[in-house]
Amino acid sequence: MSHVSLLDILALLACAVVFVTLFQRLGLGSVLGYLVAGLIIGPWGLGLITEGEDLLHFAELGVVFLLFLIGIEMKPARLWLMRKDVLGLGTAQVTVTGALLAGLAWAFGLAPAPAVVVGFGLALSSTAIGLQILGDRGEFGRRHGRAAFGVLLLQDLAVVPLLALVSLLSADVSAGGWTDGVARVAQAVLAIGAVIIGGRYLLRRLYRAVADARNHEVFAALSLFIVLGVAYLMQAVGLSMAMGAFLAGLLLAESEFRHQVVADVEPFRGFLLGLFFMAVGMSVDLGAAMANWLPVLMVVFGLLILKALVLFGLGMLFRIGRDNSLRVAVLLCQGGEFGFVMFTLAVQSKLLDQATAQFLILVISLTMALTPLMVKLLPLLLPKEPDRRTRALAPKAPEAQPGHSGHIIIAGYGRVGQTVVRMLEATGMPYRALDLHAQRVEQARHAGQDVYYGDASRAEVLRAAGLEEARAVVITLDQPEAAERATDAVRRLRPGLPVFARARDPGQVAELTRHGATGSVAEALESSLQLGAMTLRHLQARRSEEVQRLVEMLRDECAATGTNVPPAQDPQARGSAGAGQPARPAHPPPYPQASRQGAGAG
């Protein structure tokens, strides 16, 4: 990366914009667009960038951020519910696929030790491509999405024993290969324990201390430091960086800061993951592929078919349904980015020669590049009628029951927001409140309220708070600009969602309405109207219905003029009023004048 120039960066951005947009419009997905862009701009295309391997190492941070965001959205309780997919289906996939591929490698002439490394290295799938496709298609919550994620998570957990396996099978076993392998596992276990204990007792306190400073840049820097720091620690002890990032996200999954953290990390995830796919495209050696096209094609399609058959069979064995098994098989039948690392380490350990490793890396790259296209063609393979198991697992459409679907987002948890929350709690309506006052958030959460730290005027924070599933948004922010930004953000993301906003005066009511608020209340006007009405009722100067008509009339007049004061007085009435005497209103009240005796009787 030391020789990447500004021109290289411009070329990367231009290709990404052009090809990703084109492939999205063609319905082929963003991943394939990034891969083709990298292939064209790389050393085997136009040759604008020749350091594809260095770029790939840097862009692996995109996978790190992706796993962190998945971890922060997955609470430990939900992960426990997926134990069958992770420990059952995932373990079976790695074991069976690795053993079959190792047997084939041995049959085709590799020694037993290198054959085992090749077999289990190719058994792994691409976490980045699999999760990105699931995210693009919104399929994380579906049965095949959960199964695929369970398999990928187990594969990341398998990194430590597989790295230890390379050490154990290395040519220098007598010099401490067994000792090195055991040491790797012990270090990994200790590191995981340290991260869990440190995260449990230190993370929230650290975030609270930084949040109290009210500096968004420092808060974002802390989030990046935690993600990259834990990822680096896991890499140092032999685990994958992605696994470390997932663990860090899992520790923050139930934190009040998670929505703001997601909003801060999301932009880095999107950019770096796109860069990762482009780097994979650059790493495809078209020259070697064309020079050895027949062996390459045989191994590529043989690997895809064998892994797909194993995944399909295991899916049926674990009863996830025929169609879901087929979806998982197509999604995960490619090789994975960890194979790059494993085969490079095998070369350093003298288990594989350089030529064999390069051939295997080329095979993995091609299978990764073919995956988005195979997923796009998957509907052609699915039967017209879903099997009974798939129909039974399909989620039923929820009935339209007012008050029982979606939650309400409260943007701001000050005095107004707290009152709204109390009303929602009294009626049993689910809500999610956001505020930037860390101590206020902490007190609310101690009281059992669903309140989170986050800048509610930012679209990313609102999205992280579940705007897509919300049934309404109530904006109680006391800063007019922030309230307008929040209204704009909701309107961009959910044009038809009801938005109710608090305003300081009728002028801001009109401005919020212009920005798309469904309804808005001017607190200064309402407090003055209610105070006046309370006075009239207490003095018994007017009947309750007369006072209510007066309040409504003045509210309409103030809304029309955009002020907290009724319309201008009638000039003649103003002129006839004596000095220091109030002028008559231009519009007579809709009730008879009360007698002086009646007014003073109360």
Q: Looking at the domain assignment, is residue 384 inside a domain?
A: no
DSSP β-bridge partners for residue 499: 473
Domain match, 412 and 459 both? yes
DSSP annotation of 213: T
- For the beta carbon of residue 322, count every other beta carbon within 10 angstroms: 17
Structural contact between residues 498 and 473, judged by C-beta atoms closer than 8 angstroms: yes
Domain match, 119 and 266 both? yes
The residue type of 218 is V
Rounded to whole angstroms, what are the CA distances from 160 to 182, 231, 244, 560? 10, 14, 12, 69
Domain match, 240 and 93 both? yes
So what's the pLDDT on residue 309?
94
DSSP annotation of 90: I
Domain match, 230 and 366 both? yes
Domain match, 345 and 442 both? no
Burial of 459 (C-beta count, 10 Å sphere; 0-12/13-18/19+): middle
Strands in 314-447 per DSSP E:
408-411, 431-435
As for how many domains the chain has, the answer is 2
Q: Looking at the domain assignment, is residue 205 inside a domain?
A: yes
Final residue in a domain of this structure, among 360, 377, 394:
377
Is the pTM here over 0.75, yes or no?
A: no
Q: Looking at the domain assignment, is residue 290 inside a domain?
A: yes
Q: Is 27 left (phi over 0), alpha (psi -120 to 50) or beta?
A: left
Structural contact between residues 264 and 220, judged by C-beta atoms closer than 8 angstroms: yes
Rounded Cα distance between 97 and 112, Å, is 16
Closest among 592, 492, 55, 4 to 271, alpha carbons compared: 55
Final residue in a domain of this structure, among 465, 483, 503:
503
Q: Which residues contact 579 (CB under 8 A, 6 or more apart)?
A: none
Q: Looking at the domain assignment, is residue 46 inside a domain?
A: yes
The helix-helix angle for 322-332 and 143-157 (nearest 10°) equals 40
Domain match, 131 and 181 both? yes
So what's the pLDDT on residue 534?
67
Q: Looking at the domain assignment, is residue 273 inside a domain?
A: yes
Q: Looking at the domain assignment, is residue 540 inside a domain?
A: no
Domain match, 17 and 93 both? yes
For residue 438, what are its two tokens?
């860390």
Rounded Cα distance between 434 and 40, Å, is 45
Q: Which residues contact 197 (CB under 8 A, 6 or more apart)?
A: none
Rounded Cα distance between 16 and 10, Å, is 10
Residues of the chain short of pLDDT 50, as ranges, are 1, 171-176, 390-404, 568-602
Domain match, 179 and 253 both? yes
Final residue in a domain of this structure, among 482, 503, 524:
503
The residue range of the domain holding 412 is 408-503
Domain match, 234 and 127 both? yes
Domain match, 210 and 265 both? yes
CATH code at position 174: 1.20.1530.20
So what's the pLDDT on residue 181?
59
So what's the pLDDT on residue 27?
67
Domain match, 416 and 368 both? no
CATH code at position 458: 3.40.50.720
Torsion sign over Cα 166, 301, 377, 40: positive
- For the beta carbon of residue 4, count every other beta carbon within 10 angstroms: 14
| SS3 annotation, 230-279 | HHHHHHHCCCCHHHHHHHHHHHCCCCCCHHHHHHHHHHHHHHHHHHHHHH
So what's the pLDDT on residue 95?
92
